[in-house]
Chains A and B, each alone.
Chain A
């Protein structure tokens, strides 16, 4: 079974600073994918970034980067130059790439960006 752990219930950061949201995972599958989603108060889950288990380089998408440490089973999200609009819930998720596109989510981290 797959498991995602997000140990930070909430994080505070000042505008324009960088912030790291932690995610550790557990799986026995050799091939898997790791995702980060943002959920604003509207409820929609917005895809941010993806990292495959066999990808050699850390994924980056604009201000988002994923610090992937396979041996430690961690996939931390780094947001550079935080903006007020980044305030939201952030979820780490994973899926088994040999199966169907079903995701296992963590409990999430609430990020608040202050001026």
Chain B
């Protein structure tokens, strides 16, 4: 059973460029969340997708956008890259059931470097 897979593993971009990161959730999961982890920090919630809609959003600017496809996979897009966007981007999947201790499964992340 494949877990959460993310691509690419590493990416180097320059300021002002745009980037797309991809995530395939764990089999059976319908919810995808994205987190940004700066060096030396804990992950910070960017947004969550469920039923192809953005269901919840953290404190990130509109330059960060996403999409969820019918097969539950997801993309994270960042426009007009800034040096401060350099971070590890983690995708997490889960099965939506608010009544349970819904456990998130994380991928290994995409390391984005902005030069």
Contact = CB atoms under 8 A, between A and B. Distances in A.
Interface of A: 4, 33, 35, 37, 42-47, 50, 52, 91, 93, 97-108
B92 to A, nearest CB: 7
A113 B44 CA distance: 27
A50 B42 contact: no
B72 interface: no
Nearest to A102: B45
Contacts of B58: 102
Interface centre among A43, A47, A50, A97 (most CB of B within 10 A): A43
B24 interface: no
Contacts of A99: 56, 98
Contacts of B40: 107
Interface string B97-115: 0100111111111010000
B103 A103 contact: no
Contacts of B101: 33, 50, 52, 97
B45 A101 contact: no
Interface centre among A4, A43, A101, A107 (most CB of B within 10 A): A101
Contacts of B103: 35, 47, 50
Contacts of B15: none
B76 interface: no
Interface string B62-103: 000000000000000000000000001010101010100111
Nearest to B109: A43
